Chains A and B, each alone.
Chain A
């Protein structure tokens, strides 16, 4: 308290002195004390005048001194000492250290004095409040002096003079007013602040409640106990993605929510499926279905975050599976997975950014027929991923296997394999179907009665709903087994039949499509189909071969029948019953060739059958008896032209001659 007193004292006195117009001052002149103020006083002065010592720099002091010098003030003794320009650099440093040591000493001294004061007071209090005094007494004092050895009594206060009393009361009144003002201000300010806080909190909680009502799981964050977070990820995903599914709801100053996703706020990306045929993109999946809109509400942001996380996980699992499917022709790059499933048809998976999602170029979406496929594949892999999640949940619910030091890796989800299997199977089935359809069309237009039946995808069985598996799971499970389809048909004669079973496996030991044949040809009992055919072309060749075999045998039976029974139904034969018919034999049935020896001329006639997907052709040719073409054959009747007849698949039924007629025509014997 000494400094305010001395300040005010000096001020009042100087004011009084100036107002007084007496020649002789009544009050003793105030002279500056000879000794400077003690260091504590000066420190306190500097503190009050300039804030703290931090604000006192050499430059500021020097500036002040210069100002004073300019004003022509009375000599300041201290000015000379602290002129830094006269002092050398090293001496300056030493001076600094010296002063610092002095300051430290004063501080230590002050600390000691304060400790003494504390001890004194606690000793005093130890009489009245022993327990509290104990807390504040230092250990030394406790040992040295017993409790309660100091006492204090109230002594009648010395009456201070009136002016002093007035002084005191005036100053204290001023203080009190000031402190009341300060308290009132503080209270008002904090009231306003608290009001803002309350409104912000209300807004925050309204939003949080709204989020919770939509069904999202709101929880406390494990790291920060004060913040709330929302869980939008999938609990069954791999741990990487499960942890990324937690975001904290933070409050901005005015109360609105921010979704804080942590380190990886990825841009929204969607997995895109494209179908390519011969280098041209013919189909593309719809992307906007899988990503929530771009709205600003917290709900939209959560949905978008969840969708992005799902798509990321999808691509991650797909590439994981594609890596083990390398032997089946799946190629992976950093952002692309592609595989081929048919003749020149490819499926590509890649990730696409948000901007492209909503402004999809129209030329891509105008599908050239494969848009449906692309969409179906896109939906399919997502459903399969959710099914894999359910499998994870089921596996977690079961009792765990016995502990072993080997860590069991998680098997890759079945995402790409079922899709690839289905597409491949479909491709094979449809191509075989169309092939058989065309061939049988040709045969029917040639008048042969034959037909075939199909049983496509006959292996898909849906297990009924049980306790452990819901309907959706049964539905999906039906597609995860190896796919099978079967075809069976009659070849030319009803006695000979064949049946093909196509099976597509998803995984080793034999991934891919296989064809299994079983045939029943009574005319060629020793013909066996090759086992395990896998290529579509081989199968087609084999079927043609079968049919050719059967045709040869049937042709030979036609003529033998006709020649054996000329009496019945002879309207078909030529009106000259005297002409004999050739009898065909098939020594080279495998090549589709029949030979007949003419009884009249002794020459051999060759009949060859060629069957392909587009047409069936029968050609006949007389083989010359002598193999000397150079020898002129004179005197003979001109040879009849070689006969050739074709049935095409585009022929309308009924327009062309039947096979039997053509054969009969060809079997006419002639010289």
Chain B
């Protein structure tokens, strides 16, 4: 992704992921709840699975939901990395100079001036006579 994601896209992504996390967890709990419903009436009845197929479906669903939960968490991780990179590269100014370069350059100029003066004054070479 060469183009930096806009803040709107990032926000959407964050919201999606968070809602996904919650949703998946809720689904897992929902699957579990089929077995043990807290209503006392239904408890007596003992709702049970009518067939193996339904149980298998619930097992599969549990698998899917947990994997999706993990995936949402990892997505948040990659999101943070993208945001870090964006923040890092937003500050790059390749052609211009930031204060560090300016400081270096000025120090260099000062040194060069000193050397020039020393050469002209010392008389070791009769420069620029």
> Interface residues, chain A, CB within 8 Å of chain B?
1, 157, 165, 168-169, 171-173, 175-176, 178-180, 182-183, 186-187, 190, 194, 197-198, 201, 205, 208-209, 212, 215, 217-220, 225, 228, 454-458, 460-462, 470-472, 474-475, 478
Asked if B100 lies at the interface with its beta carbon under 8 angstroms from chain A, I say yes
Distance, CA A220 to CA B84, complexed state (A): 13
The distance from the CB of A551 to the nearest CB of chain B, in whole angstroms, is 30
Q: Is B51 on the interface with A (CB-CB < 8 A)?
A: yes
Given the interface contacts A190-B73, A456-B126, A470-B109, does A183 sit within 8 Å of B92 by beta carbon? Answer: no
CB nearest to B25 among chain A residues: A187
Residues of chain B contacted by A456 (CB below 8 angstroms): 124-126
Given A179-B62, A179-B63, A212-B88, the answer on whether A1 and B52 have CB atoms closer than 8 Å is yes
Contact size class for B?
Answer: 35 or more
Q: Which residue of B lies closest to A426 (CB)?
A: B125
Assembled-state Cα–Cα distance A172/B35 (Å): 10
Q: Considering the chains assembled together, what is the distance between the CA atoms of A671 and B85 in angstroms? A: 111
Specify the main secondary structure of chain B where it touches its partner: helix
One of B55, B67, B111, B129 near A172 (C-beta < 8 A): B55
| Contacts A187-B66, A460-B125, A461-B128 supplied; 13 other A-B pairs, CB < 8 Å | A168-B49, A168-B52, A169-B46, A169-B49, A179-B59, A180-B32, A183-B62, A183-B63, A201-B80, A218-B88, A455-B126, A462-B128, A475-B112
Contact between chains at A220 and B127 (CB < 8 Å)? no
Whether A183 pairs with B66 at a CB distance below 8 angstroms is: yes
List B contacts of A208 (CB < 8 A): 88
Contact residues in B for A454 (Cβ distance below 8 Å): 126
Per the bound structure, the CA–CA distance linking A209 and B85 in Å amounts to: 11
Across the interface, name the chain B residue whose C-beta is closest to A177. B35
By a beta-carbon cutoff of 8 Å, the part of chain B in contact with chain A is 1, 28, 32, 35, 46, 48-52, 54-56, 58-59, 62-63, 65-67, 69-70, 73-74, 77, 80-81, 84-85, 88-89, 92, 94, 100, 105, 108-109, 111-113, 115-116, 119-120, 124-129
Closest 6 pairs (CB-CB, A-B): A457-B125, A172-B55, A169-B48, A472-B112, A471-B112, A179-B59
| A212: B residues at CB distance < 8 A | 88
Supposing A176-B58, A187-B70, A208-B88 touch, asked if A168 and B128 sit within 8 A by C-beta, the answer is no
A197 to B69, CA, bound (A): 17
Is B63 within 8 A of A168, CB to CB?
Answer: no
Q: Which of A183, A212, A217, A457 has the largest count of B CB atoms less than 10 A from its CB?
A: A183
Q: Hey, which chain A residues are within 8 Å of B92, CB to CB?
A: 217-219
Q: A218-B88, A455-B129, A472-B109 are in contact. Are A176 and B66 (CB under 8 A)?
A: no
| Shortest Cβ gap from B25 to chain A (Å) | 10
Partner among A171, A205, A475 whose Cβ is within 8 Å of the Cβ of B52 = A171
* Complex contact B59–A175 (CB within 8 A): yes
Q: B110 to nearest A CB, angstroms?
A: 9
What residues of B have a CB within 8 angstroms of the CB of A194 in the complex? 70, 73-74, 77
Q: Which of B35, B84, B127 has most A Cβ within 10 Å?
A: B127
Cβ B66 vs Cβ A186 within 8 A: yes
A183 vs B88: C-alpha distance when bound (angstroms): 38
A201-B112 in contact given A187-B66, A217-B94, A461-B127 (Cβ < 8 Å): no
Least distance between B107 CB and chain A CB atoms (Å) = 11
Which listed residue (A183, A215, A470, A472) contacts B28, Cβ 8 A?
Answer: A183
Q: What is the CB-to-nearest-CB distance from A191 to chain B, in angstroms, rounded to a whole number?
A: 8
CB distance from A298 to the nearest CB of B (A): 16
B112–A458 touching, CB < 8 Å:
no
